[in-house]
């Protein structure tokens, strides 16, 4: 049996594809993944407008460049991405809607700029409602993504990793 002893696997131009540390763990710089979430006081959501969400905590790899100050995720590598969003809203009257999704490359929050992932009707006054969405879609390097929430009347978005979460990963490069 033979052994291949390497620390880095690189392209001839010097770009590193993989690094193997002394414990045998493999690091791949273009293996993109992130999890952003919101902690702190619950967020007020005004009625009838798409409110861009700014999650203030992030764990990431692969140069995703998620900004906790703007709420924007910049796509580093063109390819298909699995995207997941989870949000919880409360203090909304019955017979009103709650929805969330992504704004892609948008500077405003008009409904034609937003991808609506999930929509639900609040069935009970001041009920707590959690919605989760997943989507696999192709994005181009440099695209910006920002989660949003919208309620028909004002409400509160719950804080906490389990209640306000935006995560995803690169499935394949195209």
pLDDT by residue (tens digit) across 131-164?
A: 898 889 999 999 999 998 888 888 888 999 999 9
The pair of structure tokens assigned to 29 is 């710089």
Backbone angles phi, psi at 49, to 5 degrees: -140, 150
Question: 38 exposed, middle or buried (CB, 10 Å; 0-12, 13-18, 19+)?
Answer: buried
Could you write out the DSSP letters of every residue in 78-116?
Answer: -EEEEEEEEEEEES--TT-EEEEEEEES-SS--GGGEEE
pLDDT in tens, 84-123: 999 998 888 788 888 888 888 885 555 555 566 777 777 7
What does the mean pLDDT of the chain come to? 83
> Strand (E) positions, the chain?
8-10, 16-20, 26-27, 33-37, 43-45, 51-52, 57-61, 73-74, 79-90, 97-104, 114-121, 129-139, 144-151, 155-157, 164-173
**CATH code of the domain occupying 31-173:** 2.60.120.40
Query: What are the C-alpha distances in Å from 123 to residues 11, 57, 147?
Result: 57, 31, 24
pLDDT tens per residue across span 27-59: 666 689 999 999 999 988 877 777 889 999 999
121-141 CB burial, b ≥16 within 10 A, e <16: ebeeeeeebebebeeeeebee
pLDDT at residue 23, as a whole number = 81
Residue 158: C-alpha distances to residues 40, 41, 85, 100, 161 (Å): 9, 8, 14, 14, 10
Is pLDDT at 66 greater than 90 in this prediction? Answer: yes
20, pLDDT greater than 90: no
């Amino acid at each position: 049996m033979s052994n291949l002893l390497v620390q880095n696997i690189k392209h001839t131009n010097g770009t590193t594809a993989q690094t193997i540390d002394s414990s045998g763990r493999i690091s791949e710089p273009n293996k993109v993944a992130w999890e952003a979430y919101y902690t702190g006081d619950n967020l007020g959501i005004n009625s009838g407008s798409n409110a861009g969400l700014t999650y203030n905590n992030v764990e990431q790899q692969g140069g995703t460049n998620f900004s906790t100050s703007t709420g924007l995720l910049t796509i580093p590598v063109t390819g298909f991405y699995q995207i997941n969003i989870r949000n919880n809203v409360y203090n909304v009257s019955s017979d009103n809607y709650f929805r969330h999704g992504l704004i892609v490359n948008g500077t405003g929050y008009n409904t034609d700029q937003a991808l609506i992932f999930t929509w639900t009707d609040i069935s009970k006054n001041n009920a707590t409602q959690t919605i989760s969405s997943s989507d696999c879609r192709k994005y181009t390097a440099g695209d910006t993504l920002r989660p949003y929430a919208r309620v028909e009347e004002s409400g509160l978005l719950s804080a906490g990793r389990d209640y306000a979460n935006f995560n995803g990963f690169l499935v394949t490069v195209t």
